[in-house]
Structure 1
Amino acid sequence: MIPLNHDEQLPPLAPGPRAPIVGESVAASRPKKSSTACQSCKQAKRKCSGPPSPCNACRGADSECVFDESLDLRRKIAVRRTVTELEDSRNYYRELLHSLLASLRSPEPNRVDLLLNLIRRNASLLDIAAVAAETPASSGDANAAESISRRDSGDIELQSPGGSFVDSHSQVTLEMLCDIPLFQVPAKPWTAVTDDNNLVSHLVSLYFTWEHPFSQLVDQIVLLAEMSKGDLDSDLCTPFLVNSLLAMASAYSDFPKVLVIPGDMNTRGQHFYMEAERLWKAEGGKATLTNIQGVILMCCVLRYQGKERMSWLVLKQAVQLARDFGMFQRRKHHNWKDVSPDMNRIFSTTAWAVSILNAQMSLEMGQVADLMLPTTRPFEALDCDDAIMWSPYPRMNQASYVGKPAVHRYVMAELSNLTEIIVDMENLLFDKAFDIGAAELWSAAHEIYSRVRICLERLPDALRIDDQPLPQALFVRIKYHQGVISLFSRVLDHFGHTYPAWSLEARTTRLQSAKDIAGYLRIQQQCYGPKQVPCPMIDVVHSTLPILLDEQDDIESKQAFVELCRFLTDSRQRLKRVDNIIQTIERIANECGIELPLEAVDVVDFD
């Protein structure tokens, strides 16, 4: 591994002063770097001393010196200008569409025929726009033809965005047109699927917005930096890892380019997944950090495609790779002492991400998580603040959103706490429960429940629920309540109807957690809309719906059930796993003789 050595980037230490110097600092002696160059220096590709005008180079050449900060794409003024241009462009195309529809609805057959003839002749969009924009009159043909003639002669100017129109734009969706990725990374040399930098940047931005905060399998800052470098010899970023990530991110994208078969939503990201598969086979099963991360991402892709069994098998493969790599052992090898603190943190974070997913899926499968938890946490409890900010993406409906700290470390700390509880829960429910009495089982289950409740009560202020809480802050609470549901559902399976008092308390407790989950998911939709639902939240709906279905006599439970069905429907086109969840609910309802609410039937279209 290549250690991250930040010391190499620091300037050499200056010698100490011979005597006290008042009012001076080391920083004062360093040359000030120019933040922007004048237009003359940019054109001549020479070094510019920066504002104010004139710069040193222009003063020496006796040339005009003009600084225009709006041309610097790093500055907010340039971003605002770009947003304004995109909004103007969007409005133009919207008005053009309305004009075209109005023209096609025209009662004048000559006008409609002319438009259709232009379209069939593959006329330019400007010609079609000129006809569509004409006010209908009795002499439709003549007016339209005259309009085209006037435009061609320069007497009329259509105000299209940018002053011109390219036919290929007609195939670009409105969302693509208005898209400004949060992170700019190159497509090459990381993927052979596409050379579209904007598409890859779009997918990477989606991943770090809606998937990464809930799993934190990779180090966001490091991976983005390594992708930008484009170094194929990197130990922290490989084509296999990137293609796996792009396949996962495709679940959140509506861009046509993420579909292998146009119009077939089930083919989202399949080209990236197939490329990742090819690259993984070429690796020959080597246990490396990026291979572990890439295989886990492939596991998640299969999971949300509804291939749960295959996903489970791929997870076991990743766990074995992590074992072979030594992620869950004390590092006694002499080389470990040479590893930088940053690399140790990356190893530890990935180890916990693997453990969290393994514990979660083991609980769903009804098995003990046969995996030793990592021996150390990636960071100390007092070292949870970092410089990473979070904002929703795409931002078409969130333009005024002010970025917030992403609180990734706080989320990882809480999910690690929960995983330790889940491992104990699995040992109790799937092993010890068969050798102890009912009273001892109930006492042990209550002790685990108390640990969950204490964790919820002691959540840090960084994960507070405000007017527009972070999705990951909601997710932490949702996962704790999912743990409560899993605990008492399994306890009820052991008890049956033998202990009415305990059974009633277990049912009441898990029902309250199910209602709380529905409330948090309602906040998620109210704040961020139905379109971008983090995939990990779908897993929670899977375990919550059966609890609410079993309590349909309760009005609040019935309403929560319908809301979660609507929540599922919003993700149905993106995630094949949703169909599996719906089929499970139908099967449970049929087996238990429960009539599904009509509102839910209308929303989900149950068979």
Structure 2
Amino acid sequence: MLLFCSPFLANALLAVSYLYTKNQATFHVPGDPNSRGKAFAIEAARLLALEDTSPSLPVAQGLALMYVYEGALGGGGTALSYHSRMQARYLTLRLDSVPRSADAAIAGVRQRREAHALSWISWGFYIWDWKPMHGLCRRLVIRKPMRPKTWHDEATSPLCNKDNPGYWWFPYPVSVVPQNALKREIFDAECNLAEITEQILDFLIPFEEGWPPRRNPHRALELYTKLTRWKLSLPERLKVENAVLPSAILLHLNVELLIISVLRPFDGLTKEEFGPFDPVTISYAHASNAMWVVWHFRALYTLRNEHWMIQAASICAFRVLSDIETSTIQLETFAKACRALIELGESFPVAKEVMLAIKLSHKPALTTI
């Protein structure tokens, strides 16, 4: 029988949940907001030593969560060790070979539920594995799953069941009327984007015998086109001009950051050398787009507890840093990125570290903020 929960996973979930509060009752060390949730993180580490003795789905999931917690409030080295361990433990599970059917004609209720869960989890890990790419710059370890997308089936998927609490969300203050949370549509878009991202990472980090990306602008243009087509293919409610769901807004932030990564190797090339456009100018434009998305999120909600915004603001700030003294547009992008990091620094020490790195790399820039 498959296990989908364990004490380690429960404590990892609790630790991560405390990233979203600064209630003093959650502080492990009195007066230190950076210690919030630490008691659960310590307990999770203790339980991990007891549970990580054989292939375990809760262990792999808990390791992914501990990477998030340590990356936000702990140490970078510890976070990376959790991430690498998660990849290794996930691969030992071999979920593609676990036989489960969602066909009501041959499978009971529990097996169908497990089939949907395994499909969701397999594709979820595939998406998850590329998320740290902007900081780590490495090829994917977890490759595209062979397991069918049973969660996509409108007739049988729990995601399409209106009696499921997860089907609805309440977009206050935009509206007080419950709306479809679009989990299936967003997850499908994430899966499609992950497939393009896998190709991007293979391009940016070639094997030893492969071409370095700077010598292959044609492939960069192919990937750029795939990303822009992906944006245009999104369902109407997920398009950037209509997106109000936090996870839908994040889709657009991710694709802008991916485009910046694709174009980054071509710094210094002219339009004539690269192809149909100047890669640096277009990269700056997408950094501006990314910060517009962040500001859209900020206007609807708040940045203060959204640790995943730190990576986006950091990328945009450093992308335009060299041009802020000659371009008002780049200066605005830079100012927004720094403002976001300052707000995030109220909750996460790593945001303060990024601001310090910006100060050290270009001291005159900080006089503009």
8 A Cα contact 2:304 2:344, kept in partner? yes
Distance (whole Å) between structure 2 residues aligned to residue 572 and residue 438 of structure 1 = 35
Q: Choose from 159, 162, 169 the match for 1:390.
A: 169
Structure 1 position 346, deviation (Å) = 1.5
Q: Is 1:447 matched up with 2:222?
A: yes
Offset from partner CA, 1:355-404 (integer Å, 9 cap, x none): 22322324532222233221135346563645422236xx8xx5974333
Deviation of 1:258 after TM superposition, in Å, equals: 1.1
Q: 1:413 maps to what in 2?
A: 188
Q: Is 1:289–1:347's contact at 8 Å kept on the other side of the alignment?
A: no
Residue of 14, 22, 25 corresponding to 1:246: 14
Deviations 1:496-552 (A, max 9, x none): 5588642972112211111111111111111113444x3222222222211122331
Which consecutive unaligned segments of at least 5 residues does structure 1 have?
3-234, 601-607
Q: CA–CA distance in 1 between the matches of 2:289 and 2:208?
A: 28
Matched residue SS, 2:362: helix
Compared CA separation, residues 323 and 432, structure 1 to 2 (3 A): closer
CA distance change for structure 1 residues 367 and 437 in 2, over 3 Å: closer, same or farther? closer
| 1:81-480 → structure 2 map (5 Å cutoff) | 235-305=3-73, 307-327=75-95, 329-331=96-98, 340-379=111-150, 381=152, 383=154, 385-387=160-162, 388=166, 389-391=168-170, 398=173, 401-431=176-206, 435-436=210-211, 441-465=216-240, 469-480=244-255
Q: Do the aligned partners of 1:485 and 1:510 also contact (CA within 8 Å) in 2?
A: yes
Matched, 1:489 2:264: yes
Q: Is the 8 A contact 1:481 1:514 kept in 2?
A: yes
Amino acid at match of 1:520: V
Q: Paired residues, what number?
A: 354
Q: Match of 1:596, SS?
A: helix
In 1, Cα distance between equivalents of 2:65 and 2:222: 34
Q: Indicate yes or no: 2:367 matched with 1:598.
A: yes
C-alpha displacement of 1:306: 5.6
Residue type of the alignment partner of 1:343: E
Q: Is the 8 A contact 2:100 2:114 kept in 1?
A: no
Q: C-alpha separation between the residues in 1 aligned to 2:303 and 2:204?
A: 36
| 1:482 CA displacement | 0.8
CA distance in structure 2 between the partners assigned to 1:447 and 1:546 by the alignment: 25
CA distance in 1, matches of 2:249, 2:18: 23
Decide whether the 8 Å contact of 1:306 with 1:580 is kept in 2.
no
1:299 CA drift (Å): 0.9
Q: Is the CA contact (8 Å cut-off) linking 2:12 and 2:44 kept in structure 1?
A: yes
The residue identity in structure 2 corresponding to 1:262 is P
Tell me, yes or no, if the aligned pair for 1:306 and 1:575 is still in contact at 8 Å. no
> In structure 2, the residue corresponding to 1:340 is in which secondary structure?
helix
What TM-score do you get using the length of structure 2 for normalisation? 0.85
Residues 206-234 of structure 1, C-alpha deviations (whole Å, 9 max, x = no match):
xxxxxxxxxxxxxxxxxxxxxxxxxxxxx
Measure how far apart 1:342 and its partner are: 2.0
Alpha-carbon distance in 2 for matches of 1:400, 1:454: 30
Post-superposition shift, 1:240?
1.6
Match of 2:298 in 1: 525
> SS in structure 1 opposite 2:211?
coil
The root-mean-square deviation of aligned C-alpha atoms, in Å, is 3.0
Per the alignment, residue 78 of structure 1 pairs with none
Gaps (5+ residues) in structure 2? Answer: none
CA 1:466–1:332 in structure 2 vs 1: closer, same or farther (change >3 Å)?
Answer: closer
Q: Which one has the largest radius of gyration?
A: 1
Tell me, in whole angstroms, the C-alpha distance in 1 between the residues paired with 2:362 and 2:333. Answer: 16
Quote the residue 1:550 is aligned against.
322
Inter-CA distance 438–489: structure 2 relative to 1 (3 Å threshold)? closer
Superimposed CA distance per residue, residues 445-502 of structure 1 (whole angstroms, 9 cap, x where no aligned partner): 111111100000011123145677111111001101111011111343xxx5588642
Question: Is the Cα–Cα contact under 8 Å of residues 511 and 548 in structure 1 kept in the other structure?
Answer: yes
Q: 2:282, 2:22 → 1: CA distance?
A: 39
Secondary structure (helix, strand or coil) at the match of 1:425 reads helix
Question: 2 CA distance for matches of 1:474 and 1:423?
Answer: 21
Provide the rounded CA distance (Å) in 2 between the counterparts of 1:543 and 1:376: 34
Please tell me whether the aligned partners of residues 26 and 36 of structure 2 are also in contact (alpha carbons under 8 angstroms): yes
User: How far apart, in 2, do the equivalents of 1:437 and 1:309 lie?
Assistant: 28
Label 1:295 to 1:561 Cα distance change in 2 as closer, same or farther (>3 A).
same
Distance 1:491 1:379 in 2: 40
Quote the offset at 1:561 in angstroms: 1.5
Q: Is the 8 A contact 1:240 1:291 kept in 2?
A: yes
Give the match for residue 538 of structure 1. 310
Bigger share in helix: 2
Which residue identity does 2:299 align to in structure 1?
A: Q
CA contact (8 A) 1:344 1:378 kept: no
Aligned CA distance change for structure 1 residues 433 and 519 (closer, same or farther; 3 Å): farther
Aligned-partner Cα distance in 2 for 1:357–1:399: 29
Measured against aligned partners, the alpha-carbon deviations of 1:222-277 in whole angstroms (never above 9, x if no partner) come to xxxxxxxxxxxxx3332221211111111110211111122211101101111111
Q: Which digits, 9 at most, give the CA deviation of each residue in 1:282-319, with x for residues without a partner? A: 21433222221111101111111263332222111111
- Aligned partners of 2:188, 2:12: CA distance in 1, in Å? 25
